[in-house]
Amino acid sequence: MNGKNILLGVTGGIAAYKCAPLIREFVKRGAEVKVVMTPLAKQFITPLTLATLSKNPILVDFFNPENGEWNSHVSLGMWADAYLIAPATANSIGKMANGVADNLLLTSYLSAKCPVFLAPAMDLDMYKHPAVQKNLETLRSFGNHIIEPGTGFLASGLEGKGRMAEPADIVKAIEEFFSAEQDLKGRRVMITAGPTHEKIDPVRFIGNYSSGKMGYALAEECARRGAMVRLISGPVSVKAQHSSIEVISVESAQQMYDAAMEETKTADIQILCAAVADYRPESMADEKIKREKTGEMTIRLVPNPDIAASLGKVKREGQISVGFALETNDEETNARGKCERKNLDFIVMNSLKDEGAGFRHDTNKITIFDADGSKIEYGLKQKIEVAKDIVDHIVSIIKK
Ligand code: PMT
């Protein structure tokens, strides 16, 4: 943590009292801490306490009422190496998930270019509520890191999940994030992610359920470990966070193919996570196709290029190629077949038979099949953890 700039956002919850030891932990480890509070948070812990511990003035208002100076959320967002919101109340979580910007803490969130961590704290029923869970899922899909609350006695007198994580555990989570080994430093990684859309007419397309979550998690993990990432992405709503990720947005399989064939020339590692449509309509109608009064309609499909297989044909000595296999049956046979046909170093199989695996979930369950015949099975995990396992496997090949 030495020399790291931590922006701590304190929202109005009883757990705000834990911010005092939290700041001390950061300062003890050599970090510089600036604190931004919501107006309500000031009622739970005094700004003077946090200013004294952080050795920095506390920011609450958009303007300093004494001299009219502007508290720039943009420069705060640029100053921070990490933005931690602790405690994060249900109210602020909801606002962050929906882009509300009615206080300095929230405008700083929208401006932050750095990794964002949230330590939720609330009553157990609030935490369980589908609205809060949906908002947390939205924040995860933005690439934010949720530091899970603990279980125990709550301020309400009830017992359950909702206690803000202990300061030492919060600091540990952020420390681990920063201390990631830079084992991909200087490597160029190309990743394909998301679905492709194959146009039928100006308003319709053939597509699939890929959300991009798995591919974007891989991009974040590679960037965190020092790689320069080119992320060729189909249409998704997730956003890349890390500044070392350059997103190349495409729509169709042909566009993804063109971008991938260009990027492969300089890529050291390529990870093909996109759910590419294997077929596209032979032609796209210029105008919206009208419903015929009677009769059926046929759309003639022609094959799209197989990006992974095409990359396999031009694969260079030392270049690492990783594919995915999304299966519904005969998983191992199908995955191994694809690994060989597409000239991959290994293939990551996820099966739609496994609950919580594959499209759209925040979780995935994978098995890695190596070209040399070996196999590693993993349990159900968050996609960011799955990404770590995959990148660890890539690094183990590099180190061979
Ligand atoms: O995006 P999420 O919602 O997080 O979901 C993640 C995922 C399920 C999409 C991902 O984990 C996954 O399995 N991606 C591959 C999906 C797929 O198309 O699998 P496949 O078995 O049909 O393809 C095999 C491999 O060939 C894949 O690496 C694929 O990217 C590649 N391929 C396939 C067809 C094609 N025309 N070009 C390709 O490059």
Q: Whose alpha carbon is nearest atom 23 of ligand 1? A: 325
Phi and psi for 351 in degrees, rounded to 5? -115, 135
349 CA to centre of ligand 1 in angstroms: 10
**Secondary structure letter of residue 41 according to DSSP:** G
- The predicted-structure confidence for 259-274, as pLDDT tens digits, reads as follows 999 999 999 999 999 9
pLDDT the model gives residue 233: 98
pLDDT the model gives residue 293: 67
Quick check: 156 and 123 in contact, CB under 8 A? Answer: yes
- The predicted-structure confidence for 351-380, as pLDDT tens digits, reads as follows 999 999 999 999 999 999 999 999 999 999
Quick check: 11 and 38 in contact, CB under 8 A? Answer: yes
Amino acid at 266: T
pLDDT the model gives residue 240: 87
Total-model pTM: 0.73
Proportion of the chain in helix, strand, coil states, percent, rounded to 5: 35, 25, 40
Nearest to 147 by CA among 110, 126, 175, 105: 175
Secondary element (H or E) of residue 120: strand 116-120
Phi and psi for 399 in degrees, rounded to 5? -80, -10
Q: How distant, in Å, are the alpha carbons of 112, 209, 253, 304, 383 from that of 275?
A: 30, 8, 9, 12, 16
Question: What amino acid positions are annotated as catalytic residues?
Answer: 208
Residues in the chain predicted with pLDDT less than 50, given as ranges, are none
- The predicted-structure confidence for 60-99, as pLDDT tens digits, reads as follows 888 776 666 776 777 888 899 999 999 999 999 999 999 9
How many whole angstroms separate alpha carbon 256 and alpha carbon 234?
8
Q: Which residues surround ligand 1 with Cβ inside 6 Å?
A: 192, 194, 210-215, 253, 272-276, 278, 304, 306-308, 323-326, 338, 342, 350, 358-360
pLDDT the model gives residue 229: 96
Amino acid at 28: K
pLDDT the model gives residue 140: 85
How many whole angstroms separate alpha carbon 46 and alpha carbon 13?
13
276 CA to centre of ligand 1 in angstroms: 6
Strand partners, 63: 70
387 CA to centre of ligand 1 in angstroms: 15
Q: What is the mean pLDDT of the chain?
A: 93
For the chain, give the longest Cα–Cα distance.
77
pLDDT the model gives residue 154: 78
Atom of ligand 1 nearest to the CA of 192: 30
Atom of ligand 1 nearest to the CA of 322: 28
How many whole angstroms separate alpha carbon 321 and alpha carbon 315?
8
- The predicted-structure confidence for 227-240, as pLDDT tens digits, reads as follows 999 999 999 999 88
Give, for ligand 1, the residue of 273, 336, 383 to mutate: max count of ligand atoms closer than 8 Å to Cβ: 273
